[in-house]
Amino acid sequence: MIKRLNIKTAASFDDEGITIDGLKKINFIYGSNGTGKTTVSRLLYNPVHEDFQNSSVHWKMNQPINALVYNKEFRKRNFGKENIDGVFTLGEATKEEKEDIANKEGELKELRNKTREKLQNKDSLKNKIEEEIEGFKETAWDFLYKKNEKNFKEAFRGVLNKKSFYEKLLQEHGQNSSTLKKEEDLIKRARTIFDESPEQISPIEQIEHNRIVEIESEPIWERKVVGKSDVEIGKLIQHLNINDWVNEGRQYLQNDETCPFCQQDTITEEFRSQLEGYFDESYSKALEEIKSLSSEYERLASNLLSQLDNIETKYKDSTDTKLDVDRFSTHLKSMRSQVNANTAKITNKKKEPSRSVELVPLGEQLSKLHKIINDANELIEENNKLVKNFNTERTILINEIWRYVIETGKAEIDRHVKKVKGLKSSLKAAVEKLQEAEKKEKELKNEITELSKNVTSVQPTVDEINNILSSFGFTNFRIVPSKDDRDKYQIQRGNGELAESTLSEGEITFITFLYFLQRIKGGLSKDSISQERVIVIDDPFSSLDSNILFVVSTLIKEIIDEVREDKGNIQQVFILTHNVYFHKEVSFIDGRTKRKGDTHYWILRRNGDISTVQSYGMDNPISTSYELLWKELREKDNNSGIAIQNIMRRIIENYFKILGKYGDDQLIQKFEKAEDQKICRSLISWINDGSHAVTDDLYVEMPHDTIDRYFDVFKKIFEETKHIEHYNMMMQIGEHQHENA
């Protein structure tokens, strides 16, 4: 059964559209031509048509069934061709066979009702599960997420919405076995691990200082390097302590006899021999050693200072350095001073080898610098280990945070999980029962199909249609099985000629509807006879006289009564019409009952180019055309102002001119004052002009103050003619006052 219709951006329905909600078994929709009735019937026939992309049909429990729609398109589809599709109904069946099939169909109907109950139970359980889950999502979000968001948001990364947080919470609840930690501990570790992710740091290159310390400890520095003392000239040189002076001057000796010191010809071969004897090979080796060690020391010291300077520069401005830069700089400064002092002493030693020099040992400063670098490298190693194990540590922390969160909401989570588990268990059982019922329903339908195969025929439809045609005077044509296909129909004249193309509008309308009634009872195939269906009747009755309309109304009322009594396969009926007489006949219940709980009434209206709908619930809004006029007047705020003039004119003509035999002048004369007579004349002129004249504009907006002014005059006519009671009755003024009281 359909429970709601939404129609938007189709025909005269705008973007806002309409909603026809609260649909019952029997639904009457009244509306004049052009208000959108056919659009409604077309939607029910084919909701997926491209014209209805923004419209929708909502079925009870999302179970659509076949909708059989009677409108002008039905006539075109079925009677615009030579052969008409046959309708299968129970044919030459024995009384026992028909009773057997009827009993089976009764069982099938009961089974369908039970299936629907089981489906409803399943849907109810699904809704309860969804409600429980949605409710707990809100609880978990407020109580567990928001409460811990500030401290542990990083642990919630990837689940920052209610749905994903809920799913993660249940997952962790089922498998998290981490150690339960205190909140303070988790917060502290979270600040370390979450606030700033550590990075790998390269270790500081350690300084190599063994060789420079060895050079400093060489004995050559304290040794006085002099020539041989056993040479005769050696005693003099050593006595005068001019060893270095003489040695430096030796390079200035030439091959002649001139002395480089006194510039006299005093250099003899013997003197040369004694100098060479004094500055022998051991002396030269000592000088070479001093020179070599000096050069190596200066090179090592320069490289070492450069390396240490680079370390100091690199880590001096670093925010995350592990090096104690202040201590490092202090010891580097001291070492630089010591290197400078040693370099000066070594330079003097090279100039005066006979001098004894004592170098300042760098070992202490170098050891301290070495230790500072080692300490930094140990911290760097710890950092790198942390980085290496960071993901592991981070995962451990996140798991422990979730363990804490779960423990915080354990009671509520356990309750929720237990409840959902119970509901899902019930749902599983309900689904199994539903599947079992559906299986039985299918088996029973197959039994009915098999029983019906040999007793279904298109002939009963032919006989029933022809009997009704004959009963109402349509004797010049009849419907017969097709010669080419006995499961199809043709319309013939008495002489055997095909009559479909020569039928009058009234004839084709009547036989089309009779054919539709048979489609309701049967099916286009043998196995579709017992299918459930929704019936939609849109009124193409303009060419039928009142007698035929009465017959059609009676036939439809029989269908409605069967639906009300839950007989047959029809689940729901829609009647759409613009004909007040037809509406009154087809919606008549009995002389005492005015309302039925299984019935709903609507009126479709069109204001300008836009269609709207108004619900009347179980109250039938249509009685007679005269009552309808007053109803339109009561609801003038919902209608176009243009129609008000015509409504007032027709009421005055019906009540005063036809029934009361009042002409326009007689109505005007009922007013004693000349001023009131002018106002009455103005009203009559206004309503006649609005009823008969054609406006030049496409769109006309009637000012509400004008309508209200003439509405007061309209009421005044009833007062002056002593018929105000009739006015109050038709406007339901007394009823409203009684209701308000």
pLDDT of 736 reads: 46
610 forms beta bridges with: 607
* C-alpha closest to that of 151 among 179, 185, 190, 182: 190
Phi, psi (deg, nearest 5) at residue 84: -100, 135
Contact 229, 336 (CB under 8 A): no
* Cα dist from 381 to 202, 314, 322, 378, whole Å: 9, 18, 10, 5
Contact 39, 10 (CB under 8 A): yes
What's the CA gap between 633 and 639, in Å, rounded? Answer: 9
Exposed/middle/buried for residue 587 (C-beta within 10 Å: 0-12, 13-18, 19+)? buried
What's the CA gap between 153 and 360, in Å, rounded? Answer: 60
Strands 570-577 and 533-538: parallel
What's the CA gap between 119 and 113, in Å, rounded? Answer: 10
What's the CA gap between 300 and 294, in Å, rounded? Answer: 10
Contact 666, 621 (CB under 8 A): no
Give the SS3 label for residue 570: strand
What's the CA gap between 424 and 128, in Å, rounded? Answer: 10
- Calculate the CA 581 to chain-centre distance: 50
What's the CA gap between 173 and 408, in Å, rounded? Answer: 11
Strands 533-538 and 18-21: unpaired
- Helix, strand, coil tally for the chain in percent (to 5): 60, 10, 30
Write the single-letter amino acid at 572: Q
Q: Whose structure tokens read 């029933």?
A: 464
pLDDT of 540 reads: 60
- For residue 343, give every residue at least 6 positions away whose Cβ sits within 8 Å of its Cβ, in sequence order, or none: 297, 298, 301
pLDDT of 270 reads: 58
* Cα dist from 46 to 40, 50, 73, 539, 683, whole Å: 10, 9, 12, 18, 48
* Cα dist from 340 to 310, 350, 678, whole Å: 19, 15, 129
What's the CA gap between 364 and 704, in Å, rounded? Answer: 108
Longest dimension (CA), the chain: 179
601 forms beta bridges with: 28, 617
Mean pLDDT by runs of 10 across the 741 residues of the chain is 92 92 92 87 91 91 84 76 53 58 70 77 88 92 90 89 92 90 89 75 83 84 64 55 62 64 65 60 74 86 88 81 86 88 84 80 86 88 79 87 92 92 89 83 72 57 74 71 65 68 73 79 63 83 61 82 84 88 77 76 87 89 72 73 73 69 77 76 73 40 62 84 84 58 34
pLDDT of 98 reads: 63
- For residue 126, give every residue at least 6 positions away whose Cβ sits within 8 Å of its Cβ, in sequence order, or none: 427
- pTM of the prediction? 0.47
**Two structure tokens written together for 118:** 């089981």
pLDDT of 738 reads: 40
